[in-house]
């Protein structure tokens, strides 16, 4: 098994473009393999949550700001798309980035007051913000439909083809996830990504090197919130109906648990987390009330055994300071000698 993996890895290193092509072809062929719309529905969910978890991972994993109320930005994106397409007849494809920008602006508003404080305050403010947004969605009946929600959200048009089936949504979600992974992998490898990582690892040192921590934290938060907005905008026409119960704190926790289980600080982690959690959801459907219990236990076990998650960055502060321990052990040895 390991041999196979290493062979694949060598092949990938040699022929990057070809392997990307093969992977893409496989992904494009998935709808042909699973013609049942039930299974395609699950795969759609996996992709949607991969996008959400990926966006959250940018915040929690790459700059170790700890956002908990991520559902708020998802909510903002979904309502922006729904309201603008219902009231103003805007095109879906234009609304994707617009919703993202709305969510990113909200993200900026949330993180501005907490930039000077330690990260824990940001967690709480996001939590409170998530509740505020949900309550506004629930109570501002004039704009959001209140408890009745918004019905009949128009389906998007792709060069005259109406996108309705779960197979065609599969391609939309897949496209978004690929764009997200592509953009984020490039950002992470640039100066901006390095600045984020330096803030995660040691904020004091980062500042002494001239990294404007406030600016880069805000940028990081906005980038993460942007993708939640995009995901929300893609989700609204997919279900064609939204109300405030879709965007509770539990939804935020759900996304967070995907990031934690899959692993923070890597691109592949949240995708894996989304696959694991969504498949678990399907498997645990018979005992649906224990589903969240199972997640909770999984999260705790993960923190005890592998704090960085399944595919998380083991070479980082996220994994719980293992180098430090080694160093201490060495120092102890030296004292003994």
Strand partners, 158: 161
- Compare residues 268 and 317 and give the one whose CB is closer to other proteins: 317
Closest separation in Å from C-beta 292 to other proteins: 4
Residues 6+ apart with CB under 8 A from 326: none
- Compare residues 11 and 201 and give the one whose CB is closer to other proteins: 201
- Compare residues 73 and 170 and give the one whose CB is closer to other proteins: 73
Q: 191-201 and 213-239 helices cross at what angle (nearest 10)?
A: 110
Closest separation in Å from C-beta 232 to other proteins: 21
Closest separation in Å from C-beta 86 to other proteins: 24
User: CA separation (Å) from 105 to 76, 225, 227, 243, 246?
Assistant: 10, 8, 12, 22, 21
Burial 10-30 (b: 16+ CB within 10 A, else e): eeeeeeeeeeeeeeeeeeeee
- Compare residues 163 and 187 and give the one whose CB is closer to other proteins: 187
Closest separation in Å from C-beta 28 to other proteins: 23
- Compare residues 210 and 286 and give the one whose CB is closer to other proteins: 210
**Phi and psi dihedrals of 204, rounded to 5?**
-60, -45
Closest separation in Å from C-beta 49 to other proteins: 17
- Compare residues 87 and 120 and give the one whose CB is closer to other proteins: 120
- Compare residues 218 and 236 and give the one whose CB is closer to other proteins: 218
- Compare residues 26 and 132 and give the one whose CB is closer to other proteins: 132
Closest separation in Å from C-beta 315 to other proteins: 5
Closest separation in Å from C-beta 44 to other proteins: 25
Closest separation in Å from C-beta 197 to other proteins: 7
**Phi and psi dihedrals of 167, rounded to 5?**
-70, -45
Residues 6+ apart with CB under 8 A from 16: none
- Compare residues 24 and 179 and give the one whose CB is closer to other proteins: 179
Residues 6+ apart with CB under 8 A from 218: 108, 111, 112, 115
Q: How far apart are CA 262 and CA 268, in angstroms?
A: 8
Closest separation in Å from C-beta 106 to other proteins: 13
How does strand 241-242 pair with strand 150-151? antiparallel
Q: How far apart are CA 153 and CA 141, in angstroms?
A: 17
Q: Is 242 helix (H, G, I), strand (E, B) or coil?
A: strand
Strand partners, 242: 150
R_g (Cα) of the chain, nearest Å: 21
**Phi and psi dihedrals of 331, rounded to 5?**
-60, -40
Q: 92-111 and 119-139 helices cross at what angle (nearest 10)?
A: 130
């Amino acid at each position: 098994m390991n041999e196979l993996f290493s062979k694949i890895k060598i092949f990938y290193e040699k022929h990057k473009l070809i392997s990307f092509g093969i992977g893409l072809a496989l992904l494009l062929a998935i709808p042909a393999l699973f013609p049942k719309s039930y299974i395609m529905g699950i795969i759609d969910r996996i992709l949607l949550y991969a996008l959400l978890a990926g966006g959250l991972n940018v915040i929690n994993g790459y700059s170790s700001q700890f956002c908990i109320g991520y559902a708020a930005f998802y909510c903002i994106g979904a309502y922006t798309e729904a309201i603008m397409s219902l009231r103003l007849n805007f095109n879906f494809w234009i609304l994707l980035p617009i919703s993202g920008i709305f969510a990113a602006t909200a993200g900026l508003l949330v993180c501005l007051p907490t930039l000077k404080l330690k990260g824990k305050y940001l967690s709480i403010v996001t939590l409170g913000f998530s509740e505020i947004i949900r309550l506004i969605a629930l109570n501002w009946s004039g704009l959001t439909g209140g408890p009745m929600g918004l019905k009949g959200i128009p389906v998007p048009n792709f060069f005259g083809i109406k996108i309705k089936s779960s197979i065609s949504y599969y391609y939309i979600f897949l496209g978004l996830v690929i764009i997200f992974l592509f953009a984020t992998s490039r950002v992470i490898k640039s100066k901006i990504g390095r600045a984020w990582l330096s803030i995660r690892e040691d904020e004091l040192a980062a500042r002494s090197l001239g990294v404007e921590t406030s600016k880069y934290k805000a940028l990081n938060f906005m980038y993460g919130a942007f993708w939640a907005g995009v995901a929300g905008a893609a989700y609204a026409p997919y279900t064609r109906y939204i109300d405030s119960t879709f965007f509770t704190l539990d939804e935020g926790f759900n996304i967070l648990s995907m990031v934690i289980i899959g692993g923070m600080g890597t691109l592949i982690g949240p995708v894996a987390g989304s696959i694991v959690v969504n498949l678990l959801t399907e498997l645990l459907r018979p005992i649906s009330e224990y589903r969240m219990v199972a997640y909770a236990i999984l999260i705790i076990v993960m923190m005890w055994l592998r704090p960085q998650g399944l595919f998380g960055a083991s070479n980082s502060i996220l994994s719980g300071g293992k180098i430090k321990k080694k160093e201490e052990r060495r120092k102890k040895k030296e004292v003994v000698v």
